Structure 1
Amino acid sequence: MSSSDPNVPQTEVISSVAPDRIRSKSLRNLLGYWEAKENYLGRLPARADLQPDEMVPFLPFVALINVQTGNPRFQFRLVGTGIVGSMGRETTNRQVDENLFGANAVVVENFFGIPLDTRGPAYAAGKYTVAPSGRMLGFETLLLPLSTDGTAIDMLLGGLVGERIQRDEQICGFQYDYYCPVVQTATR
Structure 2
Amino acid sequence: MAKPKKFYTPSFDEGFLDHCDDRIAAFYNMWKSKCKNNVIPARSDFDPIDMVEFLPGITLVDVDQKTLDLTYRLVGTNEVAVRGKDPTGDSVREHFHATTWEDTWQNYHHAIVNQGIVFDDMDMPNANGIIVGDETIFVPLSPDGEHVNMVMLYSIQREPSK
Give the TM-score band, short-chain normalised.
0.7 to 0.9
Q: Deviations over 1:89-137 (max 9, x none)?
A: 21211211145459712221111111123212111011223587x5322
Aligned to 1:34: 31
Aligned to 2:149: 154
Q: Deviations over 1:42-78 (max 9, x none)?
A: 5211111111011011121111110112342211100
SS state of the match for residue 89, structure 2?
coil
Are 2:86 and 1:90 equivalent residues in the alignment?
A: yes
Q: How does 1:68-87 map to 2 (within 5 A)?
A: 68-87=64-83
Are 2:62 and 1:66 equivalent residues in the alignment?
A: yes
Count residues in correspondence: 154
Compute the RMSD of aligned alpha carbons: 2.7
Are 2:28 and 1:20 equivalent residues in the alignment?
A: no
Q: How does 1:1-188 map to 2 (within 5 A)?
A: 11=8, 16-39=13-36, 42-98=38-94, 100=96, 104-129=100-125, 135-163=130-158
Which structure: larger Rg? Answer: 1
Task: Report the CA distance shift for 1:61/1:72 in structure 2 as closer, same or farther (over 3 A).
Answer: same
Distance in 2, Cα, partners of 1:15 & 1:154: 19
Moved more, 110-119 or 27-36: 110-119
User: Unpaired segments of 5 or more residues in structure 1?
Assistant: 1-8, 165-188
Deviation at 1:19, TM superposition (A): 4.2
* Structure 1 residue ranges (4+ consecutive) displaced by more than 3 angstroms after TM superposition: 9-17, 98-103
Please say if residues 145 and 153 of structure 1, whose CA atoms lie closer than 8 Å, have aligned partners that are also in contact. yes
Task: Report the CA distance shift for 1:13/1:45 in structure 2 as closer, same or farther (over 3 A).
Answer: closer
Which amino acid is the alignment partner of residue 92 of structure 1?
A: T
Task: Report the CA distance shift for 1:82/1:22 in structure 2 as closer, same or farther (over 3 A).
Answer: farther
TM-score by length of 1: 0.70
User: Unpaired segments of 5 or more residues in structure 2?
Assistant: 1-5
TM-score by length of 2: 0.80
Percent of counterpart pairs with the same letter? 23
